[in-house]
Amino acid sequence: MKSSIVPVLCPAHQRLHHRVVIAGRHTGMALEAAFWRALRDIAVREGTTVDALCTDINRRRGSAPLPTSVRVFVVSYYRQATPALQTNSASDSASLSQDLLKEALEAMIQPDTPISGKHH
């Protein structure tokens, strides 16, 4: 079954409610548009579905709310995907970081503008 997430044209911080299937059960979850897009992008990159990701996150979340756990997962995923920014000295990655910061801030205003792949 496909997820009900569709591309949206709205501010990245706007909270959207979507239905997902977690371990065979339908549930609703509200996340900011930026997190829905990131979750969808991660699912595509990993060759899985948003529902499967949410099921895995749900299994590991303990007592934390599911939306909070999804946000933490998304941030953790992208932190793991950027080892150069984590290990290089500030001076070595200054221009890369400045470009990435600028693009990320722009994406908040224009959420459908992808952050360039050159930073991955």
Q: What is the CATH number of the domain that holds 40?
A: 1.10.3990
DSSP class of 2:
-
pLDDT in tens for each of the 120 residues of the chain? Answer: 555 555 545 566 778 889 999 999 999 999 999 999 999 999 999 999 999 999 999 999 989 999 999 999 999 998 888 876 666 655 555 666 667 667 776 766 655 544 444 333
Does residue 89 lie in a domain region? Answer: yes
Domain of 92 in residue numbering reads as 15-109
Does residue 4 lie in a domain region? Answer: no
State whether residue 51 is helix, strand or coil. Answer: helix
Does residue 56 lie in a domain region? Answer: yes
58 Cβ neighbours under 8 A, 6+ residues apart: 22, 23, 66, 69
Question: What total of structural domains would you count in the chain?
Answer: 1
Does residue 3 lie in a domain region? Answer: no
Does residue 120 lie in a domain region? Answer: no
pLDDT of residue 82: 80
Does residue 21 lie in a domain region? Answer: yes
Nearest to 40 by CA among 76, 1, 74: 74
Cα–Cα distance for residue pair 113/12, rounded to 1 Å: 11
